[in-house]
Amino acid sequence: MRMRMTGEWAKLMNDINPSHTAKVVSDIDKEVGLVAKDIAERSSADAPVDTGYMRDTLKVNYERTGGTVESMWVVMPEVYEILPYLWMQNFNHATKGFFFTNAFNQQHAKFDKRLLAVIERAYK
């Protein structure tokens, strides 16, 4: 049995090669890193400030871990020491409540579109 692909499928199949795929994976990785950065910066900007330690800790804590394909971006890898305080403030603060939840949800709502845009740019 044979299938003939035309149009967008044909273009996609012609564009699949190891170097192009590696670039797409790299571009997606960069975009996911920007999402992690946006969450860290937004939650930091909206966090309640007493001493400023939590805000400063949130601002700079996002990093890439692992190897190429199995890598992942982690928001706040060093925040574990203040995690109970962070969650208490996130859910209970009178005026700044949900500062982290809101930052995450804002990026979550745009995540699919951001990744799709990266993929579409790669195959144009």
- Under the banding of pLDDT at 50, 70 and 90, the label for residue 2 is low
Q: What is the pLDDT of residues 63-83, one digit of tens each?
A: 666 655 556 676 665 677 788
Domain ranges across the chain = 21-122
Tokens of 32: 């996911």
**What is the share, in percent, of the chain residues with pLDDT greater than 90?**
24
DSSP sequence for 24-63? HHHHHHHHHHHHHHHHHHHHHHHS--SSSHHHHHHHH-EE
Please name which of 120, 106, 85 lies closest in space to residue 39, comparing C-alpha atoms. 106
Enclosing H/E stretch for 12: helix 7-15
Q: What SS3 class is residue 65?
A: strand
Tokens read off for 11:
């273009």
For the full predicted model, state whether its pTM sits above 0.95.
Answer: no
Q: Give yes or no for residue 40 having a pLDDT over 80.
A: yes
Structure tokens at 70: 């199995």
